[in-house]
Structure 1
Amino acid sequence: MVARYASFVIGLLATTAPAFAGETVLYGPAPKWVENRDRAKIDTASNTAITLLDVQQRIEGETLSIYVDQAFKLASPESLTQSGTSTASWMPDKGDLTVHRVEILRAGQVIDVLKGGARYEVLRREPGLEQRQLDGMLTATLAIPGLQVGDVLRIAYSQSIRDKALQGKVQVNSTLLTLPVEAGFARTTVSWPKGMAVKWRAGPAAGSPRETVEDGWHTVSVPLPLPKREEMPQGVPSRFTRPPSLEATTFASWDEVSRVFAPLYSIKGAIAPGSPLAKEVAKIADKSPDPLTRAALATRLVQDQVSYLMNGMSGGNYVPQAPAQTWVSRYGDCKAKSLLLLSMLEALGIEAEVVAVNSRAGDALPDLLPMPAAFDHVIVRAQIAGETYWLDGTATGTRLATLADVPPFRNALPIRVDGASLTAIAPRVPQLPMATVKMVIDQRGGVDIPALVTATTTFSGVLGSNMGAVLGQASVEQKKQLIDSFAGSVFNTLSKTGGLVSDGEMSFDPETGMATITVKGIVSTRFGDRDGTKRMDLSALASANETFDFDRSRATWKTLPVDLGPARRMREEVEVLLPVDEPGFKLGGKPDYEVFYAGKTATRKGVLEGQRLIVSEEHAALGGELPSADIPVEKAKALRLKNTTPFLTAPVTAARAWRYQSAALKTRLAPVEAAYAQAIARAPVAERGAGLVGRASLRGGTYDLEGAIADYDKAIAIQPDAESYSRRGYLKRQLGRVDAAIADLREALKLSPSVDSAMALADTLGYAGQSEEALKLLAEYDDMGDEHSAVVQVRTDVLAYAGKGDDGVKEIDALIEEKPGDTSLLNASCWYRARFRVGVDGMMQICNQAVERASNAPAVLDSRAMAGIASGNLAAALADAEAALKIAPGQVSTQYVRAWIANAMGRSDAQSDLAYFRKVMPGLVQEYARYGLK
């Protein structure tokens, strides 16, 4: 009754059957059968929040009485606020609520709150209204007067419950308190007359309940709290994680539960001739003589034209409202909808019955005692042409194509006049994929160019119907947000950095119950560097992300099975469009592959024809459970499936980004530029920065430096940030505008005063001849930590620009001596000596060591190529440059070095390359001229 612990009370009431009761709170002494806890035994000195929780339940005839005595320590102002108001909720048609005591225990004194005249105020409220639930619940509240920090608040009450729908039967299902929740004294008991036929069970992990027979009463008592439950591994069925409880029932069997409820689902006279409901049945019969079609139409009518509303008032927890009333009112809960559907199916000549299920822990039903409280949902089972169909009137999206889909309830209890036992619900792979994804990845721009993506996803069944319901109520702006959210999930499967949305649309077909979402956008190129090649892994395929790894390493986990989930079916197709004028792409992996593992069949088909790759995959799962002993074998199958995922390898002649300012390649960029323009225009003005930065990256990468700077100008005008200033400064330096670059780098440092920003500015200051300021800046930001080596290398460049290259050599040599295991410093030394022509006596020896110990071969080969130029050995330099480009053909500086060497060796074909570099990368040409490449 105290707000903080009301869940204990509600849990007790919610798992017992309804009864006729009153609407006022009663007051009086505790029932005579109750064993009262002596006040002296309550530890008021302890700071344990729950000092007392005594739950005593008694079955007597057709009545269940529940007595709760609880005491809470208010040890802080927060607990005083939380527990200062006592609340109790009950259903007036299901039981009387009697308050026996409300006391404040303080320093050995007892303050009787009720004796002082305080009384609970009764309110009617519907806490589940937002979830479409009416239960007629009443709430009694009492603001406890005079409470202080340090008080112990003790409240005792009882409730008597009797339910005519149970035909004299009684049920108990009490959740048991478990550590780490502590209590001074806690227990839960249930008692009944000696000789009365009552089954009881406590578990799981309920310790050792005490069972006694005294004075004609049979009692089971569970001392609480129970030990903390052992942690369960990932993926166990719900029966292993359900909370411990004390069950008791006078139902002898599941058959008896079935028989008791059968009268409630009688359809005799449910559809009166000539009634509105009879006319609806006639319409369905006229549409088709096929029983499957009729069943699908009836189910759709109940799902679509009768809204869900749980009516638990006036015995409604178990008693469904009449079909005619459901149809007229156009609302009903699972009971009402199932009875309506049952009556319609029978009128259409289809054999059917209502079955009870547990929607959350259906696998645990066989472990529970027979009682109605074991169920929380009812559906209809139909028999058509020897096949079983499980029809849920509260679901959505059922059509003929999805009629055979099986819900994930595992077990069901048929409601029959003759009774029935629990029956397993056999899973069945859906006839129609729940989701079908078609993705087109347009890489016709080239292997270094962002990909244009069009992804179309079609949802069927419940997923499709739910999406349709959302679309039917969404505004234009909400639809745009939905498209953006969906696009984000799609793009994230392709790129860690996501993508930009350029367009999208959503639609729903009510006849098929299918919803379709199409998104278009831009993601980074799907080709990455791999072993000196450009390779695209089809990461969008489910098999590329397949895992099946469940830990059963602990001794107590060895026999725990894996829950494989419900039956399901998914289909996806990935189409990749490649540059039309670049033959030579090769398909690797296993484009055709099929494997059955962990209850699922994965089937893949793929073909590369010309410049177009199509790979499709279908995953069909029965679900269910897998024995733990089979985990290693199924894990190996899943890993093999992942390892066989197809991939594309680009030819070595594929065009690289630095070439894209040539007329032949620039036309490839037009569709990508158009997509960026669309994405930028689609976003609100204040949010266009991301699109502008993305396009600037494309333009900068393809050496449209002016276009990139223009985009950064706009992005900075919207939202200035250090990264944009830094990138714009870099581009300006590439164009040879060193002073403008310095201005941007200064702004970047102001916005982000970091060592990286400081090094970028210092390097450019040194390049511009402002060595004194550069050295001062580096000294300020050198914390002698992890970045010290990088700071020293920038400082040596500044010294070299100032004509003090020998001093720079000494600093680099000192670094090598300090960190002999850092092979990158050998490369730094080689690169420094070659560029600034200092320390040349031992230069080639150092460069050779750098190559021999290289962790980044393209970089050190490039450095040694520069050393070859400095040494006058152009042939060796050219060989190193070409070797570097075989590994990293996109290394632009090496491309320039190779062109320069080839030109110096008299090769006329290099002159056009040098002219191209002078046009698009004047800053690079100017910088290398300072290194002697004139």
Structure 2
Amino acid sequence: MNDKMNLRTSRSFLFASASIALVFSSPALAGEDVVYADAPDWIEPAELAWVDVEKGPSTLIYDWQHRLEGGVVTSYTDTAFRIDNPDMLMQQGTISLAWMPDKGDLTVHRVEILRGDESIDLIGTGSQFEVIRREQGLEQRLLDGELTATLAVPGLKVGDILRVTHSVTTDDQALGEEMQASQWLYADPWKVGFSRARVSWPEGADVYWRAEDVAGVEAPELENGYRTIDVTLPIAKLPDMPGDAPSRFTRGAMLRVGTFADWQDLSRVFAPHYVEAARIADDGDVAAEARRIMGATSDPLTRAAMAVRTVQDDVSYLLNGLDGGNYMPQTAAETWEKRYGDCKAKSVLLFSLLSQMGIEAVPVLVSTSGGDAIPELLPIPGNFDHMIVRATIDGTDYWLDGTSAATRLSNIGNVPAFFHALPLTEQGADLVTMDQREPATPDMIMALSTDYSAGIDLPSLFEMSMTFSGPQGARLRAMADEQDEDTLRQIATGFANSAGAGAAVSDVTVTYDEEAAVGVMKLVGVMPSAFAWSDGRLRMESGDDQNFVFNPDRARPEWRDIPVQTPGPSRNRVEAVVILPGDASAFTQTGPAIFDESFANTRIAGRTDTSGNRIVSSVDVIQTLGEIAPAEISANKRAVRQINAMEVELIAPEDVTWRWQRDPSEIARRVKPLIEAYDAAVEFSAEDDYSVHAQRANFRTQIYDWEGALEDLDLLVEKDTSANVLTWRASVLGALGRDAEAIADARRAYELDPNSSNAFFLAELLAYDGKRDEALELLEQVPVSEEESGNYASTYATVAGLAGKTDAALELLGDEVADKPLNASVLNADCWFRGLFNIGVDSAMATCTKAIERATDSAPMLDSRAMVSYRMGDYDAALKDLDSALELVPGLSASLYLRGIVRLEQGDAGGREDIATALRMEPYLARRYAMHGVAPKD
């Protein structure tokens, strides 16, 4: 976690919602008591007469004025708020003013309530601020030394105007006679009656200023012997920028003023404090630590890695901003003795250790955000919020962060995403670019092994590990130490939910290797098959979710010259092992076995190897921090499209054996490890987590273990019931021929959730159980939307047909077809009804064929037309359609059952195998089809 150095030396604010100037300077008298005095003579007062007090924005005045003179910065703020409502009364009812007592004074000039023509001077009538030290950042180990003066405004009412004027002086110990001031320039649409930012300094002083071009700030004018910049706020609305633009294009406008002539000047001013703080006694503890490291190894880079580890692990983080500490560092000896320090203290200690070991090193200032903009800014310390150390070893720069974590020899060469650094040298130094290089080792490795030994159409056993190195790995240290079972179960549940129906985790372990600084999270269990039926083959595809994205928008003319910021640095690796039920060489692999492609500062490198029944692949994705020039955007867009266009598939052989084609005893043998994994997942899950029971039930239905599925569903109905669970159990009970119980569950599901789908399901169960009048009555009461009318017509026709009301069924279907003549589902409903009830089959063929032609998934339509052909005695046509349906959806049990009947009609004894297989998949088929006179030939 990056430490942010507290580089502001004064912060004045009235209310939590108001952002104000950051102001800096050099040593002066300071106080912990609030001073009450008139405003400085140089202030240009703002007047309420300049604004619409009654109808304008509630923020009437926000006036900032700064003066840089004699090494002291004075920051003056004048605010006036109209209290429009009780919420504002609550927000503004307490005034809070903050300052750094070791650097300057807080002076209150005015606290006034304006009520109509009345003016109430609260300070004049005895109100006083209370001073408190409120270290709000202690949870983040921040002790900034700031004091806060608070005043609960007595007598403030809705409708009043509250006017507060104060100033803060800043004389920073670290800057000597140098000064700095920064003021945000708020832009439209900020609403305010009157606002401005003024900065002034003596005419002869060497003071420099800079603001973003979009702010339109004019050059200073000479007023009474002072150079003065006066900016009316808000400035014009800042131009819209693409979100992927570098930060120098998207940053807000700020006026920066300071006395540093250049970056070298700033470097020279800061350096002596850090050089001096790094000095240590030869017989001191820091020197002894350096000697210990040197005794352990003679390699300079290994020594540097050990030194960084010492500073990161043995010195805790605490920002101590007291006694000038915002810029002034603790000494190395003090930091080592106290074993705490902020980024400055840790950097000084690291600088000292490296210097003792003869390694060239220097502390450097960096910005943890917006670092690409640093070269464009005025040289002032306020541009930086962090400090690290640059070590140069064998001509290579290493950027070492004592406040980070888990730096080791494997990752010491990684370059943080700070863009630029300012070395602090007594001779003075310019900004240096932190040139990026690819991380040598992955930050994260996700390794997934899936075992399809049971069959590629069944779930796989899996082992997945997530290995995190460096700072990412350090985050697992506490989890590894605690081994909290609830947390581990939450991880398991989260993964199972993301992996899809049928996934279950049987164990989660978290370990951390202190020496390697590597954290590993490992999950084992069972997950759904990644093979899917497509274009006549089972295929494992890479998936659209793994596509890479680079699609910056530069369509606007004003954006065409803006580069694209690319993320980084990072290196992530994905490793996959697929264990197949047979020789992997029988499977077809598409895509290159070895590839190394790039786009937009991203490199993808990988390879795939086959050995025995295993396919092993590894892909590294390396992202480098940087930019893509506008002229290169199109080429990189094409590059990423070419990468995404690579079809990476693992295709099963054509003669694959499906689970329903296997003998039940063989299936039982094959799935035993899977069942054991589900059982282990049930044991691992929390006592009140029934999701794993649902996953096990789902798997058992896949292998047609209806009794086993029922065990889990009984528990779910008892402990975690819902309409969905009840309809699920009803379908399993129906498969087992327990119709009365199935109807009871379906009826209860409909009571819990009386939607159309549950009504249709219940109605068909009732109708096939002989309760046709009740089924028709139920359907007549169901409100049906336009989108549901097709399903309603199909269900109603089936129920009415079973009740002997085929004319009514045909009439309803005819109306639906007339209303939706191009709807494949509606056309299929008419075709299916005629075939199933053997009525009007002579005129059904045209409708059936049209349904097939209009369908995107024509397997159900082919099955319906096959039933019509069967009724017409055209067994060849029926068989052709059934074969086609099963080519599209091999597990279509109804088609398999009817094909068995047709084959027997043609004298093909192999039809009995089709029938037996279909009934393993859907045991109720025989009973239902028999009710329509469709049964195997004896």
Whether these two folds match at TM > 0.5 is yes
Q: 1:131 Cα shift?
A: 0.8
Residue 935 of structure 2 corresponds to residue 923 of structure 1: no
Instruction: Tell me if the contact between 1:733 and 1:923 (Cα under 8 Å) persists in the aligned partners.
Output: yes
Matches within 5 A, 1:673-692: 673-687=675-689, 689-692=690-693
Per-residue CA distance 1:800-852 (angstroms, 9 max, x = gap): 01011222112111111111121322211111100011122302232233333
Matched, 1:790 2:791: yes
Whether the 8 Å contact between 2:575 and 2:619 is mirrored in structure 1 is yes
Aligned to 2:280: 271
Secondary structure, counterpart of 1:787 in structure 2 = helix
Match of 2:809 in 1: 808
Q: 1:484 maps to which residue?
A: 492
Match of 2:523 among 490, 501, 519: 519
Matches within 5 A, 1:267-306: 267=276, 270-306=279-315
- Contact 1:29/1:100 (8 A) holds in 2: yes
CA contact (8 A) 1:134 1:310 kept: yes
| Local SS of the residue matching 1:285 | helix
1:687-716 deviation line (CA, Å, top 9, x unaligned): 1x2111111111112221121122110111
Contact kept? 2:530, 2:540, Cα under 8 Å: yes
Query: Which aligned pairs between 1:135-146 and structure 2 lie closer than 5 A?
Result: 135-146=144-155
Q: Distance between the aligned counterparts of 2:486 and 2:291, measured in 1?
A: 40
Matched, 1:65 2:66: no
- Once the two structures are superposed, the pairs formed by residues 20-39 of structure 1 within 5 Å of their partners are 20-39=29-48
Are the aligned partners of 1:204 and 1:245 in contact in 2 as well (CA < 8 Å)?
Answer: no
Q: 5 Å matches for 1:4-43? A: 5-6=15-16, 8=18, 11-13=20-22, 20-43=29-52
For the residue of structure 2 that corresponds to 1:725, the secondary structure is helix
Query: In 1, are the aligned partners of 2:300 and 2:393 still within 8 Å (CA)?
Result: yes
Which residue of structure 2 aligns with residue 846 of structure 1?
847
State the Cα distance separating 1:420 from its structure 2 match.
0.8
Q: How does 1:419-438 map to 2 (within 5 A)?
A: 419-438=428-447
1:40-189 → structure 2 map (5 Å cutoff): 40-46=49-55, 48-189=57-198
CA 1:189–1:487: 2 relative to 1, 3 Å: same
After superposition, give the CA deviation of every residue in 1:588-641 in whole Å (9 maximum; x if it has no partner). Answer: 233322212212221121134443211111123332111122222212222222
Does 2:371 match 1:370? no
Structure 1 contact 86–143 (Cα < 8 Å) conserved? yes
Secondary structure of residue in 1 paired with 2:154: coil
Shift of 1:28: 1.3
Q: Which residue of the other structure, out of 544, 550, 553, is the alignment partner of 1:551?
A: 553
How far 1:903 sits from its partner (Å)?
Answer: 2.0
Residues in 2 aligned to 1:905 and 1:584: alpha-carbon distance in whole angstroms = 35
Shift of 1:356: 0.9
Evaluate the alpha carbon distance shift between residue 108 and residue 82 of structure 1 in structure 2; reply closer, same or farther with a 3 A threshold. Answer: same
Distance in 2, Cα, partners of 1:273 & 1:53: 55
d(CA) in 1 for partners of 2:765, 2:628: 63
Alignment correspondent of 1:628:
630
C-alpha contact (below 8 Å) 1:591/1:646 kept by paired residues: no
1:502 to 506, 511, 515: 506
Structure 1 residue aligned with 2:424: 415
Q: Take 1:49 and 1:485, find their aligned partners in 2: how far apart are those partners?
A: 50
- In 2, the alpha carbon distance for the partners of 1:545 and 1:277 equals 51
Alpha-carbon separation, structure 1, partners of 2:611 and 2:898? 38
Asked whether the 8 Å contact 2:188–2:235 carries over to 1, the reply is yes
TM-score, length basis structure 1: 0.95
- Between the aligned partners of 1:750 and 1:657, the Cα distance in structure 2 is 36
Task: Provide the secondary structure at the position in 1 that maps to 2:510.
Answer: strand
- TM-fit CA distance, 1:118: 1.1
Give the Å deviation of 1:486.
7.3
Matches within 5 A, 1:178-327: 178-203=187-212, 205-209=214-218, 211-267=220-276, 270-327=279-336
TM-score, structure 2 normalization: 0.95
Shift of 1:881: 0.5
Which stretch of structure 1 is more off in the superposition, 412-421 or 770-779? 770-779
User: Alignment partner of 2:860: what SS?
Assistant: helix
Matched, 1:604 2:606: yes
Corresponding residue number in structure 2 for 1:900: 901
Q: Find the aligned partners of 1:230 and 1:448 in 2 and give their Cα distance.
A: 55
Counterpart CA distance in 2 for 1:190 and 1:560 is 32
Distance 2:899 2:197 in 1: 85
Provide the C-alpha distance between the structure 1 equivalents of 2:771 and 2:282, rounded to a whole number of angstroms. Answer: 99
Give the paired residue count: 925
Is contact 1:383–1:389 with CA below 8 Å preserved after alignment?
Answer: yes
CA contact (8 A) 2:851 2:861 kept: yes
Partners of 1:499 and 1:714 in 2: CA distance: 19
Q: Using a 3 Å threshold, how does the CA distance of structure 1 residues 578 and 197 change in structure 2: closer, same or farther?
A: same
1:381 aligns with 2:390: yes
* Equivalent-residue separation in structure 2 for 1:683 and 1:841 (angstroms): 58
1:490-543 Cα deviation digits (max 9, x unpaired): x74xx4669432212111111111111111233322112322322111349x9x
The answer to whether residue 579 in structure 2 is matched with residue 577 in structure 1 is: yes
The answer as to whether partners of 1:859 and 1:884 remain within 8 angstroms in 2 is yes
1:701-755 per-residue CA deviation (whole Å, 9 max, x = no partner) reads 2221121122110111111111010111112222222221111111111221211
| SS in structure 1 at match of 2:38 | coil
Partner of 1:644: 646
Identical-pair percentage:
39
User: How far apart are residue 69 of structure 1 and its match?
Assistant: 0.4
- The structure-2 alpha-carbon separation of the partners of 1:14 and 1:864, relative to structure 1 and needing over 3 Å to count, comes to farther
Q: How far did 1:210 drift?
A: 6.5
What's the CA shift for 1:334? Answer: 0.9
Q: Aligned partners of 2:349, 2:343: CA distance in 1, in Å?
A: 10
Instruction: Give ranges in structure 2 of 5+ residues lacking alignment.
Output: 1-10
Matched residue type, 1:870: R
Q: Which residues in structure 2 correspond to 1:348-367 (within 5 Å)?
A: 348-367=357-376
Q: CA deviation at 1:111?
A: 1.8
Which residue in the other structure is 2:413 paired with? Answer: 404
Larger CA deviation: 420-429 vs 109-118: 109-118
Deviates more, 1:739-748 or 1:626-635: 626-635
1:426-465 residue CA offsets vs partner (Å, 9 max, x unmatched)? 1111111111221112223323322322111221121122
The Cα shift of 1:196 comes to: 1.9
- Are residue 731 (structure 1) and residue 756 (structure 2) matched? no
Unaligned runs of 5+ in 1: none
Partner Cα distance (1:323, 1:2) in 2? 32
3-state SS of 2:15 partner? helix
1:335 has 2:344 as partner = yes
Letter in 1 for 2:526: I
Structure 2 counterpart SS, 1:117:
coil
Verify the 8 A CA contact 2:25 2:175 in the aligned structure 1: no
The corresponding residue for 2:705 is 704
Q: Which moved more, 1:544-553 or 1:776-785?
A: 776-785
